[in-house]
Structure 1
């Protein structure tokens, strides 16, 4: 199983933006130094939940600051973009990174409606826009003259430049947030980005995927291949001891919950539901404590796990120490034979 870091660096104070953006860059560079397979970027606007805001711009900087690690989006909020600008940006970053992109696409935030209103996008149109944009991306990357007449965009261009570095184009993964969307992607045999707080949750998702793909006529080998190219996102609070993780690290996670809940009633409802469940609201503890969850996750056949170490106002030294602990204590137990196979 491949391992990646999820850079989700919060900055509540505009005066701290410069520092937090630098810390996100340093964590990405550390991930490469520690031997991680990928760094994934998130996208949020107008609220400080993601200090670097624009994952495409930040990915361009990462492309020239790193040399080996894959650079992924988890995800680009596709409905907020003009498709031609998105196609150009991704193709350029594909060149700057020499083919290291993993293009995760999603319709847009399900909880932050202020992002849609800021970009003057009707959230009810987001899924349709998403579908039309993906169609445009693929055509622009594989055809020369492109004429498009759709519901939201109409244009004619002689050729999109630059052409993608990766042929025919970088790997595209869709984000799935429900069993219905997961099954829909499985019926097309497409690998996905999913979220699962626990290994049993990921196992349930993968069971849904396998059943839907099997019903659509895909062979067991093709299903295994798609799952091996998929990633699951996971948040952890990791420290050398359970005591430190719970007493020092967990409050940062709870502060993140409170901060985001104050901005979004939908997120507030998610937090209230999660906090009603027995036990801790996030995987929390020492490497020994969370080892079983990660080794169980590896047994599901999922291709990679994206780990978010930093939440809320957590200091950089706490999250970077967690990344090092993970790579030295947990990663060697879950990185199997597929590690030698480069992700397409």
Structure 2
């Protein structure tokens, strides 16, 4: 199983933005130094929930600051972009990184509607825009002319998009899935996905839903195994040397993140209330010894990679950096040696 870090650094005070952005760069470099396989980037605007805001620009910076680690989007809020502009940006970053991109696409958040307001996009159009933009991305990277007639964009340019992608025919594209219906839709096409799961059991249910839909669509077991092995699951953890420190020092940072975001969005507030009503903590919290078995069970599902958000809320950089190092020392070796169950089982 591949392992990655999910950089989702919050900054509530604008005066701290520069410092937190620097800390995010240092955490990406630490992930590469510690042997992680990928670094994933989020996207949120205007509210401080994701300090670097613009993942393509930040990915270009990381391409220059690192040399080996893959750089992924988890995800681009695709409906907020002009398709040709983002096609150019992704192609450029693919060249700068020498083919290290993982292009995770999603329609955009239905929780933070202020992002649509700021970009003057009707949120009800987000899914249609997303579908059309993905089509344009693939066309622009593989065709010699820029021609498209659609619902939102129409253009006829007798030239090709430049620069051409470094990766042939184009960078890897993964779609974000958040429901059984969206999982099944991608499974029927045999497409790898990006998903979120708080527990290994939740991830296992998602993977089984994927396998079931793929089998019903007539996909071969080998193709199913390959698609799942190219997929990633994202998780948030509060990790410390002892259970006591994780719960008493680390977990309050996560709770503060929930409170901050809930104050900005009634939809997020409802999600927090639902998760906090459950008997178990809403996030995996504890020492490496407490959570390693859950990660082992996750690896057994066959999903190819896990990206972990170590830093939440106003957590100090030192706390999340130590957590990353603990994970790579005590958990990563265990999950990298797990043999996943094949689809045929």
Corresponding residue for 1:202?
A: 203
How far apart, CA to CA, are the structure 2 residues paired with 1:257 and 1:150?
39
Using the TM superposition, give the Cα deviation of residue 337 of structure 1 relative to its aligned residue in structure 2, in angstroms: 7.7
**Structure 2 unmatched runs, 5+:** 340-345
The aligned runs of 1:28-47 (5 Å cut-off) are: 28-47=28-47
Classify the secondary structure of the residue corresponding to 1:263.
Answer: coil
Task: Give the equivalent residue in structure 2 for 1:341.
Answer: none
Deviation track 1:150-185 (CA, whole Å, cap 9, x = no partner) reads 100011121100000000000000000111111100
Give the alignment of 1:163-174 within 5 angstroms.
163-174=164-175
Q: Which moved more, 1:148-157 or 1:317-326?
A: 148-157
Give the equivalent residue in structure 1 for 2:126.
126
Partner of 2:63: 63
Is 1:232 matched up with 2:233? yes
Q: Aligned partners of 2:125 and 2:87: how far apart in 1?
A: 20
TM-score (normalizing by structure 1): 0.97
TM-score of the aligned structures, taking structure 2 as reference length? 0.97
Contact 2:5 2:308 (8 Å CA) reproduced: yes
Q: After superposition, what is the alpha-carbon deviation per residue over 1:285-315, rounded to whole angstroms, capped at 9, x for unaligned?
A: 0000001100000000000000000000000
Match of 2:101 in 1: 101
Matches within 5 A, 1:82-161: 82-157=82-157, 158-161=159-162
State the Cα RMSD in Å.
0.8
How far apart are residue 244 of structure 1 and its match?
Answer: 0.1
Query: Is 2:299–2:338's contact at 8 Å kept on the other side of the alignment?
Result: no
Aligned to 2:343: none
Q: 1:312 and 1:275 mapped to 2: Cα distance?
A: 17
Residue 258 of structure 2 aligns with which residue?
257
Hey, which bits of structure 1, 4+ residues long, moved more than 6 A?
none
Contact 2:11 2:20 in 1 (8 A): yes
Match of 2:342 in 1: none
275-284 vs 240-249, which moves further: 275-284
Q: How many residues align?
A: 338
Q: Report deviation, 1:336.
A: 3.3
Q: Hey, what's the Cα distance between the residues in 1 that align with 2:145 and 2:73?
A: 28
CA distance in 2, matches of 1:177, 1:308: 18
**Secondary structure at the residue paired with 2:173?**
strand
What is the CA–CA distance in structure 2 between the aligned matches of 1:206 and 1:110, rounded to whole Å? Answer: 24
Superimposed CA distance per residue, residues 79-114 of structure 1 (whole angstroms, 9 cap, x where no aligned partner): 000000000000000000000000000000120000
Q: Quick one: distance in 2 between partners of 1:179 and 1:124?
A: 21
Contact 2:42 2:76 (C-alpha < 8 Å) held by counterparts: yes
For the Cα contact (< 8 Å) 2:184–2:214, is it kept in 1? yes
Give, in whole Å, the separation in 2 of the partners of 1:336 and 1:128.
Answer: 41
Match of 1:299 in 2: 300
User: 1: CA distance between counterparts of 2:263 and 2:271?
Assistant: 12
Q: Distance in 1 between matches of 2:92 and 2:187?
A: 30
Q: Take 1:295 and 1:177, find their aligned partners in 2: how far apart are those partners?
A: 23
